[in-house]
Amino acid sequence: MINIGLITIGQSPRYDIILDFKENLPNNIYFDETGLLDNFSEDFIIHNLSPNKNETLYVTRLRNGKEVYVSKEKLINLLQNKIEEFQFKNLNVIVILCSGEFPEFESNIFLIYPDKIMKNILTSFDFSKLAVLIPSDQQINYAKERWKRYANDVIIFDISPYTSHDENFVYIGKKLQNEGIECVVMDCIGYTLKQKYIIRKVMGETIPIINTRSIIINVIKELFY
């Protein structure tokens, strides 16, 4: 049995993520979930953890399925605390269920940072035109700054993984195709594998699409299978 700790920056359980994991990973994996916002009410989150003007906005999901905006800076200590709680469990690895940038955390258990893996993949290629999908238009400037070193031209498209429908991703796929995009980064753990496949079907099989959930699934396979 492989024991994997999952830490969402929202509220657990994340049935949407677990469904993709269980459908694409072996059956002998046990997932231990926790969320940074598990013990907070929606009202508390909105009034105390939302980003201020100079803070970085991340998008996540509450237990009821609602999308919320939270401050990266206000999550750092909460995330370190959750990692410390997991140190007392018999886990093989801990996964941060967020594609955002985070500092190095103290942990005796191996940590998977999806952000670092996604960036390392992009450094292996030389793309002229990169598209990045983000959940909110309020993240556009942050996303441009974050990904600009990985291509000559970076185009940002905002589309929520939580409130958008299949036809919205078909539309995005057509826009990406018309823009002559050479690679797509789906920069949020909320983007499902189904949403990736919709874009893939529109754009064709030759365009690389980097999806956060796919990255985590394949890293776990590489580590343990």
CATH number of the domain that residue 186 is part of: 3.40.50.2300
Domain tally, the chain:
2
Range of the domain at 35: 2-114+215-224
Class of residue 186 by CB neighbours under 10 A (exposed 0-12, middle 13-18, buried 19+): buried
Are 188 and 170 contained in the same domain? yes
Are 129 and 109 contained in the same domain? no
Are 22 and 37 contained in the same domain? yes
Are 133 and 74 contained in the same domain? no
Residue 34 β-bridge partners: 7
Are 100 and 196 contained in the same domain? no
Are 136 and 164 contained in the same domain? yes
pLDDT of amino acid 155: 97
**3-state helix/strand/coil string of 40-64:** CCHHHHHHHCCCCCCCCEEEEECCC
Q: Are 190 and 162 in contact (CB under 8 A)?
A: yes
pLDDT of amino acid 212: 98
User: In the chain, which stretches have pLDDT less than 70?
Assistant: none
C-alpha to C-alpha distance for 157 and 131, rounded to whole angstroms? 7
- Among positive and negative, which fits the CA dihedral 188, 193, 196, 198? negative
pLDDT of amino acid 172: 97
pLDDT of amino acid 127: 93
Token digits for 208? 């690389």
The domain spanning residue 53 has which CATH number? 3.40.50
C-alpha distances out from residue 42 to 61, 65, 66, 80, Å: 11, 11, 9, 22
